[in-house]
Structure 1
Amino acid sequence: MTAPRILLIEDAEAIRVSVEAALGTAGFEVRARADGEAIEQDLVGFRPDLVVLDVLLPGRDGFELLSLIRRNSAAGVVMLTARDGVEDRLRGLGEGADDYVVKPFVLAELVARVTAVLRRTGRTRPTVEIGDLVVDAEAGMALYAGERVDLTTTEWKLLSHLAAHRDRVRSKTQILAAVWGYDDYAENLVEVNVSTLRRKLEQHGPRILHTVRGQGYVLRGEVG
């Protein structure tokens, strides 16, 4: 299954470049445009799963493009605007936008909102979520706070096993059997790999992989 496709229409270059990079890092396939002049072709040729749409655009504005999208596509729509008036937000949502983000915004929040809309519209793969961590088994990808976590094959297998048993303590023996295929030695192998995985995760957010003394390890969102 391919990554969800995002069409980004934003005329401010700095915002367009940063949003495109953030969405790409999060694992989406992104096509970025400075205006909506090619939107008819993009809806047919690129077939986006979701459109991130600025309101104030040269030529056709975001509301006109929203109407066009709703007539021709089932794609989700997240609108961006510098306007913070309630009227604009109500208009966008009333005309079919799925969400509305007011500038300035935090990139991680936008990625999270895009992901949430895709999930509601059934355009994402089944995932496991623990706090801000999203583990996508089909894509072989983990996102933490909207950023992709760079993992080795072994680290991915370890994370997948712990995610599949979220909130349940897994012993070193159980982890050895699931990840390496044996269960009677080399417990230090688990300790080393858990330590490395934990360090990589904590580069993106708070501790989510916990040690339960004398029992093993558990993946859970709350501190404990």
Structure 2
Amino acid sequence: MARRILIVDDDEALGHSLRRYLSAYGFDISLAHDGEAMRVELLREKTDLVILDLVLPGDSGFDLAREIRRDSDIPIIMLTGRGEEVDRVVGLELGADDFVTKPFSSRELLARVNAVLRRTAGRPTGEETVPEEGGRIGRFLGWTIDVSRRKLLTPEGSEVRLTAGEFNVLLALMERPKRVLTREQILDCFMAGEPDVFDRSIDTRISRLRRKIEPDPKRPKFVKTEWGVGYFFDQQIEWEQ
């Protein structure tokens, strides 16, 4: 089945040109000119990768990347005409997988697309999850993690919406509380066999996770950093079957 790529760019000529080029290499291409059209396309059909322009009418590419990452691990390649380092840093912190600076050649974009799809092969997108891991329930400071249902509940009983990748990272740390894990060890916990995965993706997921569960993400009390080593979950967990 052809991989589906959604191109979000208000430059119609560029969008149609890229659709012709990428379609010739077997991709199924859809186009959207703004955030509203992007949302419609993402709901309409499963998407394997989003090519997202930074400057758009209405919501910016940063806004839309943040929105995608709230609920999904769909790979994102951002297009920018600025080429400024700060744009790349902000984009990567929001969860972008790669950047391409305008002007670019279609061949370069194709190479980036193939590289990102290889690197993220097997990564869940949308609402997909991995197989159930038993009926374990973990509790800490009033919070509840339900492993089989893959849900995290606050002390007030509200569900925290985590992507599959964020949940996997959290579970890897919670199953080894107070123990520092390197990025490689975290990856090994749930990504064994995923080809060409890069450990810096863990930093991105940790950053997003902290924004969702920490009272103060800059001073985390749950997921902490051991500088130069890795990360650890700094609370004891009570597990029950």
TM-score band w.r.t. shorter chain: 0.5 to 0.7
CA contact (8 A) 1:51 1:76 kept: yes
- Is 2:40 the partner of 1:41? yes
The aligned residue for residue 57 of structure 2 is 58
The aligned residue for residue 114 of structure 1 is 113
CA contact (8 A) 1:49 1:123 kept: no
Q: What is the rounded CA distance, in whole Å, between the counterparts of 2:114 and 2:34 in structure 1? A: 23
Q: What is the rounded CA distance, in whole Å, between the counterparts of 1:41 and 1:9 in structure 2? A: 12
CA contact (8 A) 2:32 2:41 kept: no
CA contact (8 A) 1:9 1:35 kept: yes
The aligned residue for residue 142 of structure 1 is none
Change (3 A) 1:81 1:116: same
Q: What is the rounded CA distance, in whole Å, between the counterparts of 1:11 and 1:18 in structure 2? A: 13
Q: Which amino acid aligns with 2:25?
A: A
The aligned residue for residue 76 of structure 1 is 75
The aligned residue for residue 169 of structure 2 is none
Percentage identity across paired residues of the two chains: 47
Q: Deviations along 1:72-129, whole A, 9 cap, x unmatched?
A: 22210000011111101111111100000000001011011011111111169xxxxx
CA contact (8 A) 1:9 1:32 kept: yes
Alignment of 1:70-219 (within 5 A): 70-122=69-121
Q: Which amino acid aligns with 1:5?
A: R
Q: What is the rounded CA distance, in whole Å, between the counterparts of 2:40 and 2:32 in structure 1? A: 12
Q: What is the rounded CA distance, in whole Å, between the counterparts of 2:70 and 2:22 in structure 1? A: 25
CA contact (8 A) 1:78 1:97 kept: yes
SS of structure 2 residue aligned to 1:66: helix
Higher Cα Rg, which structure: 1
Q: Which 5+ residue runs of structure 1 have no aligned equivalent?
A: 125-224
CA contact (8 A) 1:7 1:32 kept: yes
Q: Which amino acid aligns with 1:41?
A: V
Q: Which 5+ residue runs of structure 2 have no aligned equivalent?
A: 124-241
Q: Which amino acid aligns with 1:18?
A: S
Q: What is the rounded CA distance, in whole Å, between the counterparts of 2:6 and 2:98 in structure 1? A: 15
Q: How many residues align?
A: 123
CA contact (8 A) 1:82 1:102 kept: yes
Q: Which 4+ residue blocks in structure 1 deviate beyond 6 angstroms?
A: none
The aligned residue for residue 18 of structure 1 is 17
Q: Which amino acid aligns with 1:39?
A: M
TM-score normalised over the length of structure 1: 0.53
SS of structure 2 residue aligned to 1:37: helix
Alpha-carbon distance, 1:44 to partner: 2.3
Alpha-carbon distance, 1:39 to partner: 2.4
Q: What is the rounded CA distance, in whole Å, between the counterparts of 2:82 and 2:20 in structure 1? A: 24
CA contact (8 A) 1:43 1:73 kept: no
SS of structure 1 residue aligned to 2:55: coil
TM-score normalised over the length of structure 2: 0.49
Q: What is the rounded CA distance, in whole Å, between the counterparts of 1:73 and 1:22 in structure 2? A: 27
